[in-house]
Structure 1
């Protein structure tokens, strides 16, 4: 239970890598989504008994989150990606500027966290494709996904993926 309470506490995580890009450069080529995904998922696969399997499986989720950021970000500012890890979770953070409408749609008081197993059976209507995507990632991968405000004009997607290799 204590682990649950600290899942979004960065002090419990050790930084692995961070990457920052100009948004205009990031949005100049769709292929950056794949290249960043490959880079980050290779790092996530390190120290697993089957690094390729773990990297490949998590690259699907990382790619979906990076593509969401690609579609949502506006043309100004910086986009930041970071990975950190603790004994039971790997954390991916993606912070980027976006317009007020996107931020308002995705940050709702009391409902910005999507836990594994929630979604259609939770009693909450999944209203947007992005919410369905996040809910499905949480369910399939056993991940916790949260979206928070990041400064005046941005959001941050925080996804905690289990370090265990027994995906179902």
Structure 2
């Protein structure tokens, strides 16, 4: 992965909508936290969309995939911070979490797969495999089915990483 600077602050503070901050162990203590958080956030960010119900459903599904991945793969201790931003028609979800070498390696590999030229083929192979589901499947789904642009930044000193997904879930207004 190319070196990237770690920046939890938005270059466009005007695009900030919501930020959730919780202990990673509290988050990972109950699978239903993923659904609760995605349902809550999607209701908050969909109010000004043309078809707010459709947008809320798509947003909730995409966010849930990110949260379920973070639920499975995260560092042992620290804060999990989820930021939700919008600039124009692009919605950006950031999940900033504690990381160690194993966590970083997983996300780096998964994002590389999702950004790769064969992402759709890899996604379909993993989706229809009889093996145990690959933990990278959710990120591949976001890339292939939702058109998400995934990126990863890290702070090695603080042992944190930030997984970001940029999504366009509604056609731009003419």
Give the TM-score band, short-chain normalised.
Answer: 0.7 to 0.9
- What TM-score, normalized to structure 1? 0.77
- What TM-score, normalized to structure 2? 0.74
Could you list the structure 1 runs, at least 4 aligned residues long, displaced by more than 3 angstroms after superposition: 111-118
Q: Report Cα offsets for 1:29-63 as digits up to 9, x if no partner.
A: 22111111111111231211111111111211110
Residue 138 of structure 1: which of 143, 146, 159 is its match?
143
List alignment gaps of at least 5 residues for structure 2: 1-8, 127-132
Report SS of the residue matched to 2:91.
strand
Corresponding position of 2:153 = 148
List alignment gaps of at least 5 residues for structure 1: 1-8
Corresponding position of 2:78 = 77
1:118 Cα deviation (Å)?
Answer: 5.3
CA RMSD of aligned residues (A): 2.9
CA contact (8 A) 1:117 1:138 kept: no
* 1:5-154 to 2 correspondences below 5 Å: 10-12=10-12, 14-107=15-108, 112=112, 114-115=114-115, 119-120=119-120, 129-151=134-156, 152-154=158-160
Report SS of the residue matched to 1:107.
helix
* Alignment coverage as a number of residue pairs: 153
* 1:149-168 to 2 correspondences below 5 Å: 149-151=154-156, 152-165=158-171
Q: 1:23 to 1:132 in 2, by over 3 A?
A: closer
Report SS of the residue matched to 2:11.
helix
Distance of 1:165 and 1:18 partners within structure 2:
25
